[in-house]
Amino acid sequence: MYGRRACAQIVNVTDTYEAMVSPRVNRLPLLPHGGMKALMDEGARGMLDWDLVALFAKAMGIYPIGSYLRVRTGEIAIVIRSNEETPALPVIRIFADASRGILRRPLTVDLSQQDPPLAFEPIPRPM
């Protein structure tokens, strides 16, 4: 189905992302969204096949599953699903309140369905 060159390019995209989000001796890992941004920058500069980078980003989402976010109001959430139509607004599960107390009933929120969208920022593992 795919030639060796195409398979090598696919591996190159995924390996590059993995290297960016993994710790190295000389640097800390990027957060998943930072790795995705850096990967897209590499593709835009022609360092990687842009079409494959775009497919990878679409499959993974800008905020990959498992990414942690802090909602504007201080609650902590984890990304549980990407939105294909609006990749910058994933589906999240809010699991901790602003003081980092674990919620008895986590709240699932599709950020693409919020009007106006709920503001958030990516964070490293919070706990």
Six-digit token string for 112: 């693409």
Say yes or no to pLDDT of 1 above 60. no
What's the whole-number mean pLDDT along residues 97-121?
Answer: 92
Cα-based distances in Å from 56 to 5, 44, 49, 74: 17, 14, 11, 30
Say yes or no to pLDDT of 4 above 90. no
Say yes or no to pLDDT of 35 above 70. yes
Say yes or no to pLDDT of 57 above 90. no
Six-digit token string for 102: 């674990």
Say yes or no to pLDDT of 116 above 60. yes
